[in-house]
Amino acid sequence: MTPRTALGALHIGALMFGLTGVFGKLAAATPAVVVFGRAAFAVLALAFFARFASQHGWQKLQAVDWRRLALSGVLLAGHWVSFFIAVKVAGVAVATLGFASFPAFTVILEGLIFRERIRANEIILVALVSVGLVLVTPAFDLASGATTGLLWAILSGLLFSLLSLTNRASSGRIPAVQAALCQNVVVALCLLPVAAPQLSEVRAIDWLWIALLGVFCTGVAHSLFVASLAVIKARTAAVVFAMEPVYGITVAWLLFDENPTLRMLLGGALIIVAIVVSSQMSGSTSKKTVEAEAASH
Of 176 and 28, more confident: 28
- Assess contact for 70 and 186: CB atoms under 8 A: yes
Exposed, middle or buried by CB within 10 Å (0-12, 13-18, 19+), for 205?
exposed
CA distance 183 to 192: 14
Q: Is the pLDDT of residue 139 over 60?
A: yes
- Examine the pLDDT at 285 and tell me if it is beyond 60: no
Residue 256 pLDDT > 70, yes or no?
A: yes
Q: What is the mean pLDDT of residues 166-185?
A: 77
Higher pLDDT, 260 or 192: 192
Tell me what the mean pLDDT of segment 153-182 comes to. Answer: 80
Instruction: Give the separation between CA 213 and CA 40, rounded to whole angstroms.
Output: 10
d(CA 74, CA 185): 10
- In the predicted model, is pLDDT for residue 141 greater than 70? no
The answer, yes or no, to whether residue 23 has pLDDT greater than 90, is yes
Average pLDDT over residues 278-294: 59
Q: How confident is the model at residue 24 (pLDDT cuts 50, 70, 90)?
A: very high
Q: pLDDT tens for residues 97-134?
A: 888 777 778 777 777 776 767 677 767 777 777 787 77
Q: Mind listing the pLDDT tens digit for each residue in 57-105?
A: 677 878 888 888 899 899 999 999 999 999 999 888 888 888 877 777 8
Are the C-beta atoms of residues 69 and 246 closer than 8 Å to each other? no
Q: Residue 39's pLDDT band (boundaries 50, 70, 90)?
A: very high
**pLDDT tens column, 268-284:** 788 777 777 766 655 45
Task: Please answer whether residues 179 and 297 qualify as being in contact, where contact means their C-beta atoms are separated by less than 8 angstroms.
Answer: no
Is 247's pLDDT higher than 90? no
pLDDT at 230 (0 to 100): 74
- Of the candidates 154, 137, 146, the one whose C-alpha atom is nearest the C-alpha of residue 99 is 154
Is the sign of the CA dihedral 153, 155, 157, 159 positive or negative? negative
Cβ 79 vs Cβ 20: under 8 Å = no
Cβ pair 102, 293 in contact under 8 A:
no
The answer on pLDDT for 137 being more than 90 is no
Over the chain, what is the mean pLDDT? Answer: 81
What is the per-residue pLDDT for 191? 95
Helix, strand, or coil (residue 99): helix
Which of 112-126, 157-171, 175-189 has the least mean pLDDT? 112-126
Q: Write the CB contacts of 278 (distance below 8 Å, at least 6 apart in sequence).
A: 103, 106, 107, 125
* DSSP secondary structure, 58-92, as one string: PPPP-HHHHHHHHHHHHHHHHHHHHHHHHHHHH-H
| Confidence category of residue 244, pLDDT binned at 50, 70, 90 | confident
Write down the pLDDT at residue 287: 61
